[in-house]
Structure 1
Amino acid sequence: MLAAIREGINVGYSDFYLYCGTGGRIDHTIANLQALSFLSENGKQGFLVDNESIITAITNRKITFDSIQSGYVSVFSYSSKAEGVCLQGLKYELDKAVLTNTFPIGVSNEFIGKESSISVDNGILLIVFPRK
Structure 2
Amino acid sequence: MKVAVICGSHELYLDEKALADQFIIGVDRGAFHLLERGISPDLAIGDFDSVTPEEYDAVSQATRELIHLPCEKDETDTEAALNLALQRGASEVTLYGALGGRIDHTLANIRLLLQFVKKGLYVQLVGEKNRLTVLSKGEHHLEATAFKYLSFFALESTVTHLTLKNVKYPLVNYTLAQDDIRCISNETLGADYQVKFESGYLLMISSCD
Paired residue type of 2:136: T
Does residue 83 of the first structure (1) align with residue 152 of the second (2)?
no
Contact map agreement 2:146 2:208 (CA 8 A) in 1: no
Name the Cα RMSD after superposition: 1.8
Which whole-Å CA distance do the structure 2 matches of 1:131 and 1:17 have between them? 18
Paired residue type of 1:99: L
Larger CA deviation: 56-65 vs 116-125: 56-65
Query: What SS is found at the alignment partner of 2:94?
Result: strand
Does residue 29 of the first structure (1) align with residue 99 of the second (2)?
no
Which whole-Å CA distance do the structure 2 matches of 1:80 and 1:112 have between them? 29
TM-score, reference length from structure 2: 0.59
Counterpart mapping for 1:16-95 below 5 A: 16-67=93-144, 71-95=148-172
Deviation of the 1:131 alpha carbon? 6.6
Query: What SS is found at the alignment partner of 1:121?
Result: strand
C-alpha distance 68-11 of structure 1, shift in aligned 2 (>3 A): closer
Q: Which has the higher helix share?
A: 2
Which whole-Å CA distance do the structure 2 matches of 1:49 and 1:65 have between them? 16
Does residue 10 of the first structure (1) align with residue 107 of the second (2)?
no
Larger CA deviation: 58-67 vs 119-128: 58-67
C-alpha distance 46-88 of structure 1, shift in aligned 2 (>3 A): same
TM-score, reference length from structure 1: 0.91
Structure 1: gaps (5+ residues) = none
Paired residue type of 1:51: E
C-alpha distance 14-70 of structure 1, shift in aligned 2 (>3 A): closer
Counterpart mapping for 1:108-119 below 5 A: 108-119=185-196
Which whole-Å CA distance do the structure 2 matches of 1:50 and 1:75 have between them? 17
Identity of aligned residues (%): 27
Contact map agreement 1:76 1:106 (CA 8 A) in 2: yes
Contact map agreement 2:133 2:203 (CA 8 A) in 1: yes
Query: What SS is found at the alignment partner of 1:122?
Result: strand
Displaced runs of 4+ in structure 1, greater than 2 A? 61-71
C-alpha distance 119-88 of structure 1, shift in aligned 2 (>3 A): same
Structure 2: gaps (5+ residues) = 1-77
Q: For the pair shown, which has the larger CA radius of gyration, 1 or 2?
A: 2
